Amino acid sequence: MATSGLLLARAFGWLWMDLLAGVIGAVVIANRSWGLMRDTGGILLDMNPDRRMADNVRHVTEDN
């Protein structure tokens, strides 16, 4: 992304293209980081998306 911005800025004199490529790259990285933090937070807090499985485990452990 940054390389294409630098090449376009050099070839056509579009100095703003390098800045735009950097901003787009930052947005992509921030978006992916947010998804990783959300997924990892769920794992660290032992969240279970399948409510039925959690109920089955609770039922089995309470019966013993």
Residues 9, 17: contact at Cβ < 8 Å? yes
Interacting residues of 1 by C-beta distance below 8 A, sequence separation 6+: 21, 24, 25, 28
Cα(44)–Cα(30) distance, integer angstroms: 21
Sign of CA dihedral 57, 58, 63, 64: positive
In the chain the beta strands, taken as DSSP E runs, fall at none
What pLDDT, on the 0 to 100 scale, is given for residue 3?
A: 82
pTM of the model as a whole: 0.58
Show pLDDT as tens, one digit a residue, over the chain (64 residues).
678 878 888 888 888 888 888 899 999 999 999 999 988 988 888 777 788 888 888 899 987 6
